């Protein structure tokens, strides 16, 4: 695997790490609501799982033949955007509804940075292996949306 492709995989791993750290921070921010805090924690752990998949691809890189589907500059820009967003949120902690809206937007943006969307594998076994790992991933975007809907509907009951 080329050094450029390794660099891309490492940047994508950093994106997943940054996202996990944001979700851990949100779990702590909303620690007084066990259900909400648990969802943030679960989502953070899933992002850490995504990071691990990228790091596994880096470790197995000698045996993986793949073509990048995104540019390094795109991944760099996404990482920088996420770092700045996290900084903004930490400086101005959001209300729950805004935090959930932001997380849903992040998930939309990051979908294309999941491992199965970053590489085009020349070996079908590698595609299936990494695809199977992602298949076990819980769809946290849907969980965030359901919680957001609950928060919004409970506001109408006030």
Q: Which fold has domain 3-156?
A: Ferritin (1.20.1260)
30: confidence class by pLDDT, cuts 50, 70, 90: very high
Rounded mean pLDDT of 12-28? 96
Q: How confident is the model over 83-132, as pLDDT tens digits?
A: 999 999 999 999 999 999 999 899 888 877 776 677 777 777 767 777 76
Q: Which residues contact 15 (CB under 8 A, 6 or more apart)?
A: 75, 78, 79, 82, 110, 113
Rounded mean pLDDT of 138-143? 68
């Amino acid at each position: 695997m080329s050094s450029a492709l390794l660099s891309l995989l490492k940047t994508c791993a950093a994106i997943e790490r940054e996202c996990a750290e944001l979700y851990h921070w949100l779990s702590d921010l909303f620690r007084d609501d066990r259900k909400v805090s648990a969802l943030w924690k679960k989502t953070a752990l899933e992002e850490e799982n995504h990071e691990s998949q990228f790091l596994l691809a880096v470790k197995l890189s000698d045996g993986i033949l793949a073509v990048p589907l995104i540019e390094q500059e795109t991944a760099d820009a996404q990482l920088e955007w996420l770092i700045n967003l996290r900084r903004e949120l930490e400086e101005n902690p959001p209300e729950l509804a805004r935090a959930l809206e932001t997380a849903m937007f992040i998930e939309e943006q990051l979908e294309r940075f999941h491992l199965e969307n970053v590489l085009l594998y020349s070996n079908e076994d590698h595609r299936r292996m990494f695809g199977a790992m992602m298949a076990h991933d819980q769809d946290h975007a849907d969980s965030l949306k359901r919680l957001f809907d609950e928060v919004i509907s409970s506001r109408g009951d006030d």
